[in-house]
Structure 1
Amino acid sequence: MEFTEERLAEGCRRGEAAARRELYDRYAGRLLAVCLRYAGDRAAAEDLLHDAFLKLYGAFDRFRYRGPGSLRAWLERSTVNLAIERLRSRNRRPTVALDEGRLPLVEEALDAGAVAGLSHEVLLRMVGELPEGYRTVFNLFCIEGHSHREIARMLGINEKSSSSQLARARALLASRVRAYLQSQEP
């Protein structure tokens, strides 16, 4: 049976094993990528993905189909929310202390062409290696498109901390990208 998004959601709402299996097969890869962005390493991301699917399967009564793509958007948003919830439960504040003197902001912009040549896997690994607070703010701002006000509310921090965490994340990523690119030069 071919599942449309709407039929897939309805089948999951009713607890149909075939619909749940199809949901996992169709979206696990995409949601694992979301989990990797927040968890930082594969093992933690796989645990988060497992928990996300368990939570998602039980939450379909709250999903409303709003057209093509709405199921995927709901799944991704729910997974991000679970990742943030996990960070908040693990730490009172999912930020790292900023050491203003040790990580200077990078003044020099990266060459966009050189960065575009990096593989998705290399960039994902670099983001995953960021300190937890930097990584979380970077993902919420750059990937999810949230404002610093929204991020501050979600993480229980102030807006200036969110902005500072993002600047530090970008500086650290730029430094790592430069080092990687230099190591690849013949």
Structure 2
Amino acid sequence: MEELELSNLCKKRDARAQKELYELYANRLYAICIRYSGDRDTAQDLLHDGFIKILCSFEKFTWRGEGSLRAWMDRIMVNTSLQYLRDKKKIGQEIELEQIPDPENDEPNDNDIDSIPQKVLFQFIKDLPDGYRTVFNLYVLEKKSHREIGEILGINERSSASQLFRAKKTLAERINEWMDEQGK
């Protein structure tokens, strides 16, 4: 079934269409939830909560062409995950830029990073502290500016920038450690 037809049937609360929607998109949406929560059990709960929001909000969905349904559902899952983190006060702690040390030249190069299995990189991201992981995901994967991230998370732009810097620094350290362990 095509996206437009599927979305129209879901608007009418067709149970078969809703089931198909879940089967088509659950894995993708779960990946979004785990990217923000860093925890499989929490991600499963977020997927459930987000899917309820999706199914109850179809009257707000507007078809804008192929891919618009997926993008709309992605946005709901990101927002559900961010709301969970806000509610748990896991993000938004202020970190002043002045506390950040000058960057060191120990960042791995792109060729080194390309040699690391994707699963390992995802684990490194998952292991980041919640605030760092959230800002990293919003900046790198969602392509949000520091101003937008600040508005979403209720922090100032400088805090967003500093958390991204620390996330990148932490990832660089983990990558370098992994490379040393692998003898690369």
* 1:39 and 2:57 correspond: no
Preserved CA contact (<8 Å) 1:135 1:169: yes
For 1:30, the aligned partner's letter is R
Question: How far apart are 1:111 and its partner, in Å?
Answer: 1.9
- Per-residue CA deviation, residues 135-178 of structure 1 (Å, 9 max, x unaligned), is 11000000000000000011110000000000000000110111
Task: Write the distance in 1 (CA, Å) between the matches of 2:3 and 2:93.
Answer: 39
Q: 1:63 to 1:184 in 2, by over 3 A?
A: same
Which residue of 69, 91, 95 maps to 1:94? 91
Preserved CA contact (<8 Å) 1:106 1:174: no
Partner of 1:108: 106
Instruction: State how 1:158-169 maps to structure 2 within 5 Å.
Output: 158-169=156-167
Instruction: State how 1:1-150 maps to structure 2 within 5 Å.
Output: 3-91=1-89, 94-96=91-93, 98=95, 105-150=103-148
Task: Write the distance in 1 (CA, Å) between the matches of 2:30 and 2:162.
Answer: 28
Q: Which region of structure 1 is more displaced relative to structure 2, 102-111 or 41-50?
A: 102-111
Question: How far apart are 1:123 and its partner, in Å?
Answer: 1.2
The alignment's C-alpha RMSD in Å is 2.0
Preserved CA contact (<8 Å) 1:35 1:83: yes
- Per-residue CA deviation, residues 61-108 of structure 1 (Å, 9 max, x unaligned), is 1100110111111111111011111111221x7134649879774432
Q: Which runs of 5+ in 2 are unaligned?
A: none
- Per-residue CA deviation, residues 106-151 of structure 1 (Å, 9 max, x unaligned), is 4323121121122222111111110010011000000000000000
Q: Which region of structure 1 is more displaced relative to structure 2, 98-107 or 134-143?
A: 98-107
Task: Write the distance in 1 (CA, Å) between the matches of 2:171 and 2:159.
Answer: 18
Task: Write the distance in 2 (CA, Å) between the matches of 1:78 and 1:103.
Answer: 36
For 2:26, the aligned partner's letter is A
Q: 1:19 to 1:107 in 2, by over 3 A?
A: same
Say how many residue pairs are matched.
183
Q: 1:117 to 1:40 in 2, by over 3 A?
A: same
Q: Which runs of 5+ in 1 are unaligned?
A: none
Preserved CA contact (<8 Å) 1:95 1:134: no
* Helix, strand or coil at the partner of 2:108: coil
Task: Write the distance in 2 (CA, Å) between the matches of 1:121 and 1:158.
Answer: 32
* Helix, strand or coil at the partner of 1:118: coil
Task: Write the distance in 1 (CA, Å) between the matches of 2:120 and 2:52.
Answer: 30
Preserved CA contact (<8 Å) 1:103 1:168: no
Preserved CA contact (<8 Å) 2:93 2:155: no
